[in-house]
Structure 1
């Protein structure tokens, strides 16, 4: 009972005496941010802790942290980045196709962005993609590759995005970049066996509907960037995939279908009905639950168990076979402050050149930080100034 003079107590979070729910959330974020900082400054870097942070609840928390952690997950040295691409990259055989795809990707840029700003970013995106393709002649462009590239660009700026995209292209995305779609089809072939291992009823329904796996193709080859309208949901999934096995997007697709089993079983058992339902991912889909259950699915049914099924026995994935080497390469990285000191000490052009290099790096770091923040949060032309400076280096 309450009345005049009654003291109103602030609601406390159950199980944590004296701590409000808001205070608990804040302290949880602070603790996680501190753990990530400690992992980044360890020598060598605690890559296992960074992967754990990326896949656990909340992911990497912010764009600032992502710009520090994503390169570490891919063993990218931020002090040894590719140069600004020159006009030579536009001689690539896929230039016209890349440019058309980029022009069709307007919705991937922040709403309200000025036309001039968007035009600069689109040109940068074309150059980032073409630089990677020119640098790796064995790679073949596919429609959807630009969706992954734009996520990296909006998060990290052009030079760092180029370096990360190059590593992803030769590892996680390698199967999609073959001359034919055969390897991509093989990756999709994991989908139905995974569903069958968890639900015979759902698997039988999907088989009778003849829906196949094509509904999940764009999910897989764009890491869901093409089908999700919420940029933060895309980033959360990228945290997860960058820290995981190359097949994790397939496991994620299987788990997404499993979580929608009641909906699927209510529609008509025919290809158009099931395809339409599965192709439209609900806007309020619980992504933290999806990630948690996908991790459990992967642990319960690892790829080598699924591979034993008859349809997959001959699958030889380049992405999977190169994953162990990527994991090994990430285990002995030095923290950025050590790399920065070594970069300065190793300059061959004297103290002045070394100092100028560090100034450039400092400006680049500030530019990338402010520019990515502007991309994600504001549409102010003033905040775009530093990002445009990136093109000078």
Structure 2
């Protein structure tokens, strides 16, 4: 599930909590979170961008750490130029669109996907943007068909990266990772969903046989796959952590994640009554304290151990298009180069002035960590002084 690097091979550095490296002069070591942040910034400023390191950061413990980092890294994972975004979607797209009524109904029912305590006027404005965002993508790609749950993916992008960048990301996801779910029929979706049982069988024949006898089927996992768990998890942090993982991974990874989630509850399942209602109810309810970092780590190992090529053939458009997305992503230029080549989008705020406090922070960092920190802090300044002061 790693990327395909372009040009000179780069050494992969350990981003796990136990894999700390020296932080600079005097051998002082940074915490793993700070060290990981530095490695991400360095990867973003490589030319071409070190997408393989960004993918590694997204899938290892802690993921991409913060919203600020996600706004920088998520576009790189999908090969999106933030200085060449589609126009801002508007209400005019709603006229005569075949899916407009369904989209409006689903978005109006999506109140739980917005942060608790959000001012109603702000939420309503975001819901309007969400409708425009979805209809813009569908209008640009008439071959794509809306499905219930698509708005759950869209709202996660909107809340994280904003309207224009979220729209660009949704377009790429719709033609790649989510493409199997956007056919006029659910035949391909069922094929992806039915991959679940062979995966479980490959790891635990006992659990597989129990599930077959219970006749539970795979429908309990449908919303997990088509919404990337956004519809079933109430904690936005958990959703974002899974999105880090999925955006950096093969399109079939959510299926492996679903299978691993069931495997991690094997003892609980086998203690239950072997009938469809009992097992369906049990599996449909994800425990609130479920260990998502463990789930991600095990799902990643699961994919490497049992890759799709070793399982029954699956005619997946999403899987077939992934290789080309990997190759194109490896050729990206860093943002400071793209900024020189284009103009800043109207909804991307300019960099804030470097005030005295920030200059002192830069001086202190460079003095304590050495010259290597200068390039990192320059990038951090572009991201904003608040981020820099929190980073170190």
For normalisation by structure 2, the TM-score amounts to 0.81
Measure, in 2, the Cα distance between the counterparts of 1:118 and 1:204.
Answer: 46
Measure, in 1, the Cα distance between the counterparts of 2:325 and 2:18.
Answer: 43
CA displacement 1:11-68 (0-9 Å, x = unmatched): xx9999xxxxxxx996111100000000000000000000000000100000000000
Alignment length (residue pairs): 328
User: Higher helix proportion, which one?
Assistant: 1
Q: Does the CA-based 8 Å contact 1:43-1:335 persist in structure 2?
A: yes
Aligned to 1:77: 81
Aligned to 2:317: 318
Shift of 1:85: 1.5
CA displacement 1:239-263 (0-9 Å, x = unmatched): 0000000000000000000000010
Measure, in 2, the Cα distance between the counterparts of 1:140 and 1:300.
Answer: 34
Runs (4+) off by over 6 Å: 13-16
**Cα RMSD between the aligned structures?**
1.9
CA displacement 1:173-201 (0-9 Å, x = unmatched): 00000000000011012110111111111
Measure, in 2, the Cα distance between the counterparts of 1:296 and 1:288.
Answer: 13
**Equivalent residue runs for 1:170-189 within 5 Å:** 170-189=175-194
Q: Does the CA-based 8 Å contact 2:19-2:32 persist in structure 1?
A: no
Are 1:95 and 2:97 an aligned pair?
no
CA displacement 1:57-80 (0-9 Å, x = unmatched): 100000000000000000010001
Shift of 1:86: 2.9
| Structure 2 residue ranges without an equivalent (≥5) | 1-16, 21-27, 353-392
Aligned to 2:331: 332
Measure, in 2, the Cα distance between the counterparts of 1:242 and 1:232.
Answer: 15
SS of residue matched to 1:59: coil
Change beyond 3 A, Cα 1:365–1:265: farther
Shift of 1:287: 0.4
Aligned to 1:44: 48
Change beyond 3 A, Cα 1:31–1:135: same
Shift of 1:330: 0.2
Q: 2:141 aligns with which of 112, 136, 140?
A: 136
Q: Does the CA-based 8 Å contact 1:188-1:213 persist in structure 2?
A: yes
| Structure 1 residue ranges without an equivalent (≥5) | 1-12, 17-23, 308-312, 344-356, 367-393
Are 1:196 and 2:182 an aligned pair?
no
Q: Does the CA-based 8 Å contact 1:174-1:318 persist in structure 2?
A: yes
Change beyond 3 A, Cα 1:277–1:43: same
Q: Does the CA-based 8 Å contact 1:81-1:159 persist in structure 2?
A: yes
Aligned to 2:349: 363
Are 1:341 and 2:340 an aligned pair?
yes
Shift of 1:84: 1.2
Measure, in 2, the Cα distance between the counterparts of 1:285 and 1:149.
Answer: 24
Aligned to 1:20: none
Measure, in 2, the Cα distance between the counterparts of 1:271 and 1:181.
Answer: 23
Q: Does the CA-based 8 Å contact 1:79-1:361 persist in structure 2?
A: no
Shift of 1:316: 1.4
Q: Does the CA-based 8 Å contact 1:45-1:334 persist in structure 2?
A: yes
Structure number with greater Rg is 1
Measure, in 2, the Cα distance between the counterparts of 1:219 and 1:28.
Answer: 31
CA displacement 1:86-114 (0-9 Å, x = unmatched): 33310211001001000101000010111
Q: Does the CA-based 8 Å contact 2:55-2:248 persist in structure 1?
A: yes
Are 1:64 and 2:64 an aligned pair?
no
Are 1:274 and 2:274 an aligned pair?
no
Measure, in 1, the Cα distance between the counterparts of 2:211 and 2:351.
Answer: 49
CA displacement 1:187-228 (0-9 Å, x = unmatched): 012110111111111000000000000000000000000000
Change beyond 3 A, Cα 1:128–1:365: farther
For normalisation by structure 1, the TM-score amounts to 0.81
